[in-house]
Chain A
Amino acid sequence: EAAVTQSPRNKVTVTGGNVTLSCRQTNSHNYMYWYRQDTGHGLRLIHYSYGAGNLQIGDVPDGYKATRTTQEDFFLLLELASPSQTSLYFCASSDGTGVYEQYFGPGTRLTVL
């Protein structure tokens, strides 16, 4: 089973702050994804990547940047955090073959004051 880790697990910042969420997967998966989870909205896709240096836009990309530095590492950047970005963020990976099932990390809870 895929191993996906996220850091930090919890983060508190202030409005206008700069935040980077990190995700690492250790199973040589090509595809990685960032989702946010909010009550009443379920999980929504922010950005995803097919491989190092590649970035694709998801359904709710506004206010977020992402960067895939290696096959293992995918970062989500909030350069001017706003209270509306208070959420639970999940990273996932997929090997991109066959069924494309995704394996999720434990999540990062971000609070923007």
Chain B
Amino acid sequence: GEQVEQRPPHLSVREGDSAVIICTYTDPNSYYFFWYKQEPGAGLQLLMKVFSSTEINEGQGFTVLLNKKDKQLSLNLTAAHPGDSAVYFCAVPRNNYAQGLTFGLGTRVSVFP
């Protein structure tokens, strides 16, 4: 089944700076990907869903890039602010799209002034 590696495990970012989280997946047939955000004591909040047909996806304060050749998905935080402090997870479908998700191990992002 699908496997996902996520790096780095921890990230300290000065407020206003940018940061990148990278996930590498194994199944070249994967065509949906997800980023989730987990704030302290909370569940996982869907941040963005990515289709393999779109290499660049933009949200509020971040950009997701998909490199299908290298099977990499990156979350780029632009102009980090304190509200971005959280754990971020990438996720890809396990085998088929109803059979649950395989998650990366997460990246803990801390934004400091």
On A, residues with C-beta under 8 Å from B are: 4, 31, 33, 35, 40-45, 48, 50, 56, 58-59, 90, 92, 94, 96, 99-107
Contact = CB atoms under 8 A, between A and B. Distances in A.
Contacts of B34: 101-102
A94 B98 contact: yes
A90 B43 contact: yes
Contacts of A4: 43
A91 to B, nearest CB: 9
B46 A103 contact: yes
B103 A42 contact: yes
B105 A100 contact: no
Interface of B: 1, 6, 32, 34, 36, 42-46, 49, 51, 89, 93-94, 97-106
B43 A100 contact: no
A56 B36 CA distance: 24
B104 A100 contact: no
A74 B104 CA distance: 25
28 contacts: A31-B98, A33-B100, A42-B6, A42-B103, A42-B106, A43-B44, A43-B89, A45-B100, A45-B102, A56-B99, A58-B100, A59-B1, A59-B94, A90-B43, A90-B44, A94-B98, A96-B98, A99-B32, A99-B51, A100-B98, A101-B34, A102-B100, A104-B36, A104-B44, A105-B43, A106-B43, A107-B42, A107-B43
